[in-house]
Structure 1
Amino acid sequence: METRRVPPDVAALLRKAKAEEAAASKPRFIPKKERERLEAEKKAKEEEARRRHEEDLLKNAAAFDRAVTNGPSRTNGANGPNGTYKSRSAQRDIPTGPKAMRPSGDSGDHRHDAKRARPNDDDHKRIEMERHDEAELRARYMGPEVNRSTFSANKKRRRTAANKFNFDWDADDDTSRPFDPIYANRPDPLFRLAGYDMSDELVQRKAEAIRRGDPETGEERARQLLEQHERVKQQAGRKNLGKHWSEKKLEDMKERDWRIFKENFGIATKGGAIPDPMRSWQESHLPRRLLDIVHNVGYDEPSPIQRAAIPIALQARDLIGVAVTGSGKTAAFLLPLLVYISELPPLNEVNKNDGPYALILAPTRELVQQIESEARKFATPLGFTVVSIVGGHSLEEQAYALRNGAEIIVATPGRLVDCLERRLLVFTQCCYIIMDEADRMIDQGFEEPLTKILDALPVGNEKPDTEDAENPQLMSRYLGGKDRYRQTMMYTATMPPLVEKIAKKYLRRPAIVTIGNAGEAVDTVEQRVEFISGEDKRKRRLQEILNSGQFKPPVIVFVNIKRNCEMVARDIKSWGQSTVTLHGSKTQEQREASLASVRNGQSNILVATDLAGRGIDVPDVSLVVNFNMPSSIEAYTHRIGRTGRAGKSGVAITFLGNEDTDVLYDIKQIISKSSISKVPEELRRHESAQSKPTRGGGQKKLEDSGGFAGKGGSWQ
């Protein structure tokens, strides 16, 4: 039975075609290996097609060459003997390629093929000539080849890669000549020009001779000579611009070098006619004998305050020195003072009772004795006498020390006023005044005693309040006999209004020297703060710190109240540590014994009030602990300044509590300015540390802060 054929469904075929078209139009994901295989096949096909194309070109070129070589002949060519064309079958016998490419049954002239298989030089020349003729024919009928690119991507890639990011230069390209032997010993044009020493005077004389000798062009030649000489001088001056100030001689220092020098040491000066600072002791203009003493004492390099203050003081200028604690202020005012005294007549039986030549005032007994000890290191080898006048010793004892006179007196203001009122001392010939820690003296109520002392000085040698006070020649001369102008210096860490008032009244056109930023701690002290409330918790934390072994003795622990000194000291002794105390209720002998015990290593820990916060120098203090935060940021700055002195490093740990909210902002600011300290997160986020308090409270009584009462009467 025959099966009936069903015709195809047109709609189904259309749907199928559309589906295939849609499938073909959709992007098909091809794996990487498949893509690589397809790419390889494509390249192989292209390579095969290119090879076949080249073979076809070679075959056509060979056929063309044979046709040209065997071209038409009258006897045996394309035409017959009678000049007629051969038939197509006869033309097939004409060879169309090399013998190796012809079929084996091909007939031809075998001798001719053998001859062509061994071409000679004539054949080569003929072939070259034919190719040349072919090129001329092609150019004649088809025109010359134009816009033919010679670009090669490979050549460009190699050329770019060879020169890309090549920052070195060839030694042959160096055009400088510093090592050329011809220029090795070239004379300096500043000193040699045309074979002569061309100083300014010689150039002027030579220019004048040219003008006289050549009336016509002499003026122009002389002008050119002077301009050339000026250019040579400027070139020689520029040669030193690239050197550091430490590599230059003093006479080669420019204004830019001095500016860099001051920036390196944090020196800022204010005032008129201020001399440049000294770079070393050899450039200080101090007497050789005094420099030898400085070397023997161990002062290798001057500190910044010494670099800036000593040249100013040697010019008989009044001076205000603002420097952080532990910056070497004592030697800065002692050395010029000794130079001043050495120029005065020595003390004898006639003038020994007319008073000292110089007076040094300090706020505390301990600082006075420290200055006295330092001054004797320099004054005793020179034959000068230094006497201290402080409370705690009987007036008879101090009067006995003054029986033979003294060139230098170091005193506290309160006891010195007592000596003046009892006529134990006069200032008839005193013309050199130094106030050390002037802000501290004002804080302790010494404004009135300071005024009495300064008013007791002779007035006949006061400096004029004019520009003459800035003239070192006028201020260094003698007024008549042995009298000289009074020289007043004030050293302080801060400049409160009362200190400025005294400075304006008694100083004449002073030069102001500021080292670093006034009121900031030194960068050698690492500041740490810890929020610990309660005495018991603080004592336990203090015990952990002292017993950790991280800090070598001596250590200073500061408290705010005198009675806390003894309590904290007893606890420290119970932990097995040797300790001494220092506060205002101790006698002078007890204070001196406590400091001596710490300095000579008999005791490891000193517990003190703010009495030890200013000017007291205990060598090599590794740690300062503020058991109680002081009521002012200035007192905090001076407390932590007991460590990190003389360029050494130290650590200061401060315990904070809720009672210290008034100083949290200030302490955060001063810690943030330190390069080696970090503000803890608790202090950074504390509410009281976000803005400076506006109310003026928070100041504690003097009795609570350090044991001082009134004008220093209880601690003298």
Structure 2
Amino acid sequence: MSEPITDFNTLGLAEPLLKAIIESGYTTPTPIQAQAIPLALQGNDLMAGAQTGTGKTAAFSLPILHTLLPLASSSTSPAKHPIRALVLAPTRELAIQVYDNIKTYAKHTPLRSLVVYGGVDIKTQTPALKNGVEILVATPGRLLDHVEQKTLSLSQVQFLVLDEADRMLDMGFMPDLKRILALLPKQRQNLMFSATFSDEIKKLADAFLNNPTLIEVARSNATNENVEQKAYLVNTDQKQRFLVQLLKQQATQQVIIFTKTKLSASKLARALERDQIPCSAIHGDKTQKERIEALDAFKAGAISALVATDVAARGLDITDLPLVINYEISTSPEDYVHRIGRTGRAGAKGIAISLIDEDETKYFDEIEKLIKKQVPKEKAVLAESGVPRSSSTRASTAPRTSVNPRSNMTTRKTGKSEDAWFQQPYQPSTDHASKQLPMKAQNNKRKVVAALLGGFGFKGSAAAVTASPKKQAGKGRKPEPVESNTSTSEALPQS
């Protein structure tokens, strides 16, 4: 058995790459890097599985950069910079993260790299493509957009990388992947990286990998041992209040809170803001600019909580993120692995908390079967005081009432007022008000009503009302309509 690799210098990487690695603060390769880099340098196809946050990006980008370095050119001619390596990622966030890492490792080389993704104007990406890039990171949909517009060529691709391949299948990218594979040269090196392996992933590997070497530095679908997992049993209508209580108790600077839907993410973010917790939401309905601004604000500490759907479970790389909370339990057990993989990265410690409603216990049972681990659970205890309730959370007790001594009105804490008269049994109307009026006043009242109704029953009154100066001025003109209390939506006839 060979000795484990404990130094990047022993991997045989080019000097410009080692210099960039040292400047980034890395000295010892992670287990996935130590196993994958030597095999990739030999030209082997790889099917690599590792826990999220263990350095998969460097495991495939460093050997690619090393192999392409002799072909690098300082020429400004686009023909000298064809796309030689294609990295496919399922989400915009992950694509940006991979690109940033590749750019960092290649900063002392002439190799060019670029990232393209949807959600932004495709015309802004075209000039850089026309100038030529050796390494292209892309989401599948936007890559095909460029292919259709003929702004790039994949005819000289030597490396294909599928990052988070399981997520691509979950998001329905299989048809796009087949179209892309048909555009690539058959002679190429393929590298597939994923945090989880399923039967579908193995079928995908059989479709485009050639005699791949399987690497698993940890049991498939395992969770990071650096992450402390725990769960609370809490009713759905109490989750929001208990979440606020947890956040105030943890007093953490940063936390990612996961929900199942875009709607619940937006609603929860607004509710936390009302509870004086600086927060923002990130999900599929947000524009790319909004998502980047939210991530930048979160990384800078301007906001302490980020509410996200599973679209953000892959690709978010927050340094030393201490806490992840599953506000809603995903129906996909694999998503749990990726959610809590946002914390405890690169050897750091982390905490993952799940809030489980009675209806979600069946989903969490599936999660425990997948990770082959029992997560400690306890019943949530809500503080009696000291934790302000969100304005959108309803109280579980009946509203208290108080009586105003100056009236017979009963005022409820709900903000509505109720007259005690409405609580009395029904009694026929005696029309006391009309009986108390003098006969003359009653007649005057009837005349006014009759006038408004067009004079029905009061001929003299009707004649007086319908007469108008315009009618007296000319016999051929129709009388002006009498204004009434009818709906304003009815149009008045024009004379």
Q: Give me the TM-score of the superposition, normalised by structure 2.
A: 0.73
Q: Which residue of the partner structure matches residue 507 of structure 1?
A: 209
CA distance in 1, matches of 2:190, 2:265: 38
* 2:243 paired with 1:516: no
Q: Which residue of the partner structure matches residue 163 of structure 1?
A: none
Q: Which residue of the partner structure matches residue 570 of structure 1?
A: 270
* 2:246 paired with 1:545: yes
Q: Which residue of the partner structure matches residue 122 of structure 2?
A: 395
| Count of aligned positions | 380
Which structure 2 residue ranges, 5 or more long, are not aligned? 381-495
CA distance in 2, matches of 1:556, 1:427: 37
Q: Which residue of the partner structure matches residue 171 of structure 2?
A: 444
1:300 to partner: Cα distance: 2.0
Q: Which residue of the partner structure matches residue 66 of structure 2?
A: 339
1:624 to 324, 327, 342: 324
- Contact kept, 8 Å, 1:365 with 1:390, in 2: the verdict is yes
Q: Which residue of the partner structure matches residue 307 of structure 2?
A: 607
CA distance in 2, matches of 1:343, 1:564: 51
CA distance in 1, matches of 2:74, 2:201: 33
Deviations 1:3-26, CA, capped at 9 Å, x for gaps: xxxxxxxxxxxxxxxxxxxxxxxx
2:148 to 421, 434, 439: 421
CA distance in 1, matches of 2:323, 2:378: 23
Deviations 1:659-709, CA, capped at 9 Å, x for gaps: 2243232333467638xxx533789xxxxxxxxxxxxxxxxxxxxxxxxxx
Higher helix share: 1
2:54 to 327, 334, 352: 327
Amino acid at match of 1:673: K
CA distance in 1, matches of 2:372, 2:36: 29
1:497 to partner: Cα distance: 2.8
1:551 to partner: Cα distance: 4.3
CA distance in 2, matches of 1:527, 1:514: 23
1:215-294 equivalences under 5 Å are 255=1, 258=2, 278-294=5-21
SS at match of 2:160: strand
2:295 to 577, 590, 595: 595
Which structure 1 residue ranges, 5 or more long, are not aligned? 1-254, 262-276, 463-485, 684-716
1:599 to partner: Cα distance: 1.0
Identity %: 37
Q: Which residue of the partner structure matches residue 680 of structure 1?
A: 377
1:611 to partner: Cα distance: 1.2
1:492 to partner: Cα distance: 0.7
* 2:338 paired with 1:638: yes
Amino acid at match of 1:427: L
Amino acid at match of 1:637: V
SS at match of 2:347: coil
- Contact kept, 8 Å, 1:352 with 1:406, in 2: the verdict is no
Relative contact order, higher structure (CA 8 A, sep 6+): 2
Q: Which residue of the partner structure matches residue 658 of structure 1?
A: 358
1:282 to partner: Cα distance: 1.9
2:22 to 270, 276, 295: 295
1:507 to partner: Cα distance: 1.2
1:586 to 286, 289, 307: 286
SS at match of 2:315: coil
Please list every run of at least 4 consecutive aligned residues from structure 1 whose deviation after the TM superposition is greater than 6 angstroms.
none
**Structure with larger Rg:** 1
| Change over 3 Å in CA distance of 1:285–1:652 after alignment to 2 | same
Q: Which residue of the partner structure matches residue 236 of structure 2?
A: 534
SS at match of 1:584: coil
SS at match of 1:624: strand
CA distance in 1, matches of 2:20, 2:368: 43
- Contact kept, 8 Å, 1:361 with 1:434, in 2: the verdict is yes
Q: Which residue of the partner structure matches residue 104 of structure 2?
A: 377
Deviations 1:21-49, CA, capped at 9 Å, x for gaps: xxxxxxxxxxxxxxxxxxxxxxxxxxxxx
Higher strand share: 2
CA distance in 2, matches of 1:288, 1:496: 38
Cα RMSD after superposing both structures: 2.0
1:292 to partner: Cα distance: 1.6
Amino acid at match of 1:364: T
Deviations 1:524-582, CA, capped at 9 Å, x for gaps: 111111111123x111111111111x342211111111111121111211221111110
Q: Give me the TM-score of the superposition, normalised by structure 1.
A: 0.51
Amino acid at match of 1:403: K
